[in-house]
Amino acid sequence: MSPQASAQIEEGVIDVLKRVSRRPIEPVLDSDLIADLGFDSLQVLEVIAELEDRFDVSIPLNDVATIRTVAQVVAEVARLIEGRST
């Protein structure tokens, strides 16, 4: 995946996080969704649904429990997008 595509995914993920959050946040790649950004389990599911719509991917709910940081979210979305194009 090109650096430009990775940057677009990162920007998209951060945009979704900001929209779903009920308070102003400034997510960075090493931000923990729950500890640092204050998301609860329902908000995490909202983020997943928004990401699926935005990037046209399907994120398995089994994978959600292992995704803790913004970087992990970006990596998972990138992985799913790459898998879709093969």
At 31-76, the pLDDT tens digits run 999 999 999 999 999 999 999 999 999 998 888 889 999 999 999 9
In a 3-state reduction of DSSP, which class is residue 69? Answer: strand
Which residues does residue 32 pair with via DSSP β-bridges, in sequence order?
Answer: 69
- Confidence category of residue 86, pLDDT binned at 50, 70, 90: low
Instruction: Please give the CATH number for the structural domain made up of 3-84.
Output: 1.10.1200.10
Domain boundaries, the chain: 3-84
Q: Give this prediction's pTM.
A: 0.91
Residues 6+ positions from 34 with CB-CB distance below 8 Å:
40, 44, 68
